[in-house]
Chains A and B, each alone.
Chain A
Amino acid sequence: MAECVSAHAVAQAVYEGIRVGAVCLRADCAQAIESAWMRAMSEDDSEREALVLDDIRQNAAIAQNADVPLCQDTGSVWVCLEAGADALIPADIFSGVDEAVAQAYEQGGLRMSMVRDALFDRTNTGDNTPAFCEVRLTQGRGAKLHVMLKGGGSDNASRLVMLAPGEGREGVARVVLEAVREKAANACPPLVVGVGVGGTFDKVAGLSKRALLRPVGSPAESARAAAFEEELLDAINATGIGPAALGGTCTALAVHLLTAPCHIAALPVAVNMGCCAMRTASFILMDEEGHVLDEPLPCTQEGGAR
């Protein structure tokens, strides 16, 4: 009988993910910002763009050195446990998450940004709980935990549209470009744009969010997806919106696309905006040989690479 992934390990990874994620810019994002800054520095007419990108670089250094948050909006917490076919998961797997969130936010000096009820009681819960937790069953082996601190500004700039299938690829591109044109300034560019296409009304939003976990610069799920991502990125960066929406060519660092099967009548599209302070962290809880690890192991290749 294989060992179970424990609620304790999940809580431990959530605590670590929040503490590190809130103050350390993801290595892939930092690298992409660095390249964009060097490019802007070498151009004659990109003075303001270079200045903003330099602010973002310096901010990352200050946050890490002083152990202060990269952004004042330290987000709502999203926790996703990805479990392969061989993983055993007890039903109370998330029972320690809210306590870990409360501790991490208190001890990290992070902002409490959650209210009790969206409509009927907007009193701050005072400890940034509850977290939004989900289990995702995958084809693979082992178990991984993803933590994302999602800021309100970039999430508000996101959207979901149910297109008619006839609108196809062009329709999807139009939805993405409209979202960027209308809302990029609110979402703190340079952006990582998560795009989900397919599934159902509820599933497509999850695809676009999960797309944000993929490291900037890493390969897409297929060659066709890679080509579409590049087309979308070029179109976004041709808008001239630029870093902080103050002008320039670096409006987005990447577009990440995830697609899925869907109904014959459907073409669901979701765009989840990731800001320039993308905060995610991923941990291995059970390796591919089926060994449950003593301590959550930070992933270096997947969202949260440091």
Chain B
Amino acid sequence: MSEAVAVRLPEEASVLSSLEAGTKVLLTGTIYTMRDAGHARCLEYLRRTGALPFGLEGQTLFYAGPTPARAGRPFGAIGPTTASRMDFAAPELYRAGIAATIGKGKRSAAVRQACKECNATYLACVGGIAALLAERITDARCIAWEDLGTEALYQVSVEGLPAFIETDSHGQSLYRQVESA
């Protein structure tokens, strides 16, 4: 297994596109949490206006619903939720400018195709280690949809958040490589 690649977001999102499926990355900078209910709202906005809300072009979405602040941390625990539930919206969001998404589990063929077309990526994060991942969160700010509780849109500052390139910009999938190994 090769060394982890440090990537600064959103500035170096294009670096993610140059990496192959299976590469470990450590993310530092700004990402946004969005999951089921947020995707429905985001997609509705996109279809109505033709653009992503809140200046999300070029940004990375973390499919996550964190627990509240605790023990001096912005979130007590945060980790990836199942990405396939966002497949209904992801291709459109990639085409509108989302640079990368972070979650767990396999994506649809349509998402892999969208990554290829848009030079975008999907990153897999380890599920079930949310207390550890929360230590990599330095700040969090609710941007919108506060009424959704844990599903609100948060701008999150991360430092060294570990993930793996799951779907690379050629549409290759790490989970599928593991299965056929």
Q: CB within 8 Å of B: which residues of A?
A: 47-48, 51-52, 55-56, 58-60, 62-63, 66-74, 109-113, 122, 124, 126, 152-153, 156, 181, 183, 185-186, 188, 239-247, 275-277
Contact A153 B181 (CB under 8 A): no
- With A66-B71, A109-B68 as contacts: A71 and B132 at CB distance below 8 Å: no
Contact B104 A68 (CB under 8 A): no
Contact A109 B181 (CB under 8 A): no
- With A55-B126, A71-B130 as contacts: A124 and B149 at CB distance below 8 Å: yes
User: Does any Cβ of A come within 8 Å of B110's Cβ?
Assistant: no
Contact B82 A72 (CB under 8 A): no
* Residues in A whose Cβ lies below 8 Å from that of B64: 72
Partner of A241, one of B71, B150, B151, B179: B179
Contact A153 B71 (CB under 8 A): no
* Residues in A whose Cβ lies below 8 Å from that of B79: 71-73
CA distance A186 to B124 in the complex (A): 11
* Residues in B whose Cβ lies below 8 Å from that of A67: 70-71
Q: How far is the CB of A53 from chain B (nearest CB, A)?
A: 10
* Residues in B whose Cβ lies below 8 Å from that of A156: 82
Chain A residue with Cβ nearest B1: A47
Contact A246 B178 (CB under 8 A): yes
User: Does any Cβ of A come within 8 Å of B69's Cβ?
Assistant: yes
Partner of A72, one of B65, B71, B105: B65
- With A48-B1, A185-B175, A277-B128 as contacts: A112 and B71 at CB distance below 8 Å: no
Contact B181 A72 (CB under 8 A): no
Partner of A245, one of B37, B65, B78, B105: B105
